[in-house]
Amino acid sequence: MDAADLRSCSDSFLHTIEEHGFAGRWHWSLALGEQLWSPGFFRLLGLDSHRVAASYDLFRELVHPDDRGRLASAGEILQGHVWPSDHAPSEVVRLIRPSGELRTLSILSERRVSPEGRPLALGGVALDVTDRERLGRMQALEQRRRQSLYLTSYTTTYAVEPDHLHDFPHAVAQVHGPSLDEINLNPFVMVVPEERAAFRDRAMAVHDPQVPFQGTAHERLANGEVWHFRIVGVPIWDGAGRYLGRAGVKYPVHEFGAPVHADGAPGDARLQRALEQAVRGHHLRAARGLLDWSMLRLAEASGLSLSTVRRLEADAEIQGARSRHKAVAALRAAGIRFVSLDGGTIAVAKL
């Protein structure tokens, strides 16, 4: 696990690992000259937040001398030579705490630019990967949380590999009856026989064109009960445009479609990222129209260059481009909602 993987983790897991000293966040507003570190980032560096002010220079000084050259100096950043580049957003560096303790950090950074391409801000997240065994125990705790969620609410997130192999928590097998291996190979075994073939055909039809899927099906539980579920599956790509499979969620709904539980589907960073990647150029144009925004206004709000916004709206950016997430975040902040509908269609609405 490295810092890039944190984008795919649940909010509860991110909070837990920061509380346990594994992760931290930092931000530097170049325009305002303001630097902010989360409490977790101070802990990663072995510093007291009450005695030390956030400073990129200080962070870089703590990096091992042999690794320091991988990071741009503060002066280089202010001159526009920003580390990291959009094509190499992460680094692994050794860090020497004031106590002399050596740690290894995986760092993922994001930059914000003006419509003309001038750097405005830099920020990111760091993950301590020195003790991977302890980090593995934290991941095991997250797996147990997913187990408990399905046992108590029949709600879960899941992943689908490019070869169509699914990844459900073991609790799904406990609740439905078939073995976990059988469910991961053929999740349609949970669907009642009279709906199974039609639902499978609809779901499999979207895999090759790699488009979102959303539908409902009745599934039988091991105790004989039949529940109505909504199943969502959205293709996901990495930052280089490589197809990673799908991120999904399933949760029980009433016959009229409303979620059984008031909180509906669970929050999941990986699924959120996949849903944002499904937003295409015509969705962005529709959202701008609802806000009466020009492309320049979207560029300013999202910290992207005008040329990048043009590429997004022309569907010329790779599917996993981080610029897409920045544009969607800016539109959401302005009141736009991108809503996934049954059949995989995305609707654009304004609050």
CATH number, residue 228: 3.30.450.20
186 & 116 share domain: no
Range of the domain at 224: 155-268
Q: What is the pLDDT of residue 87?
A: 46
Q: Is residue 143 part of a domain?
A: no
Whole-angstrom distance, CA of residue 22 vs CA of residue 316? 37
Q: How confident is the model at residue 332 (pLDDT cuts 50, 70, 90)?
A: very high
Determine the distance from the C-alpha atom of residue 34 to the mean position of all C-alpha atoms in its chain, rounded to a whole number: 26
Q: Is residue 140 part of a domain?
A: no
263 & 185 share domain: yes
42 & 111 share domain: yes
End residue of a domain, out of 96, 130, 164? 130
The residues pairing with 184 across neighbouring beta strands, listed in sequence order, are none
Q: Is residue 137 part of a domain?
A: no
More confident: 333 or 345:
333
Provide the whole-model pTM.
0.67
Q: What is the pLDDT of residue 337?
A: 95
End residue of a domain, out of 245, 268, 291? 268
Question: Is pLDDT above 90 for 239?
Answer: no
Q: What is the pLDDT of residue 73?
A: 85
35 & 72 share domain: yes
Q: What is the pLDDT of residue 91?
A: 82
Using the 8-state DSSP alphabet, how is residue 53 labeled?
A: -
- Indicate the number of domains in the chain: 3
Cα distance from N-terminal residue to C-terminal residue, the chain: 37
Q: Is residue 332 part of a domain?
A: yes
Question: Is pLDDT above 70 for 347?
Answer: yes
Q: What is the pLDDT of residue 96?
A: 95
76 & 118 share domain: yes
47 & 160 share domain: no
Q: Is residue 45 part of a domain?
A: yes
The CATH number for 335's domain is 1.10.260.40
Q: What is the pLDDT of residue 123?
A: 83
211 & 292 share domain: no
Q: Is residue 27 part of a domain?
A: yes
The residue type at 249? V
40 & 107 share domain: yes
Q: What is the pLDDT of residue 134?
A: 66
15 & 101 share domain: yes
End residue of a domain, out of 268, 299, 326? 268
Q: What is the pLDDT of residue 263?
A: 75
Question: Is pLDDT above 80 for 257?
Answer: yes
Q: What is the pLDDT of residue 133?
A: 62
Question: Is pLDDT above 70 for 331?
Answer: yes
Highest mean pLDDT among 71-75, 270-274, 345-349: 345-349
More confident: 61 or 6:
61
Long-range residue pairs from 44-53, CB within 8 A, at least 24 positions apart, any chain: 44/95, 44/103, 44/105, 44/126, 44/128, 45/95, 45/97, 46/97, 46/98, 46/99, 46/101, 47/98
Q: Are 199 and 343 in contact (CB under 8 A)?
A: no
Q: Are 90 and 83 in contact (CB under 8 A)?
A: no
Q: What is the pLDDT of residue 195?
A: 97
Segment among 61-75, 177-191, 265-279 with least mean pLDDT? 265-279
Whole-angstrom distance, CA of residue 37 vs CA of residue 53? 9
Mean pLDDT, residues 146-167 taken together: 91
- Which 3 state secondary structure label does DSSP give 115? coil
Q: Is residue 66 part of a domain?
A: yes
303 & 329 share domain: yes
253 & 290 share domain: no
Mean pLDDT, residues 309-337 taken together: 92
160: CB partners within 8 A, 6+ apart: 166, 167, 233, 245, 246, 247, 248
Question: Is pLDDT above 80 for 89?
Answer: no
Q: Is residue 147 part of a domain?
A: no
Mean pLDDT, residues 201-207 taken together: 89
24 & 108 share domain: yes
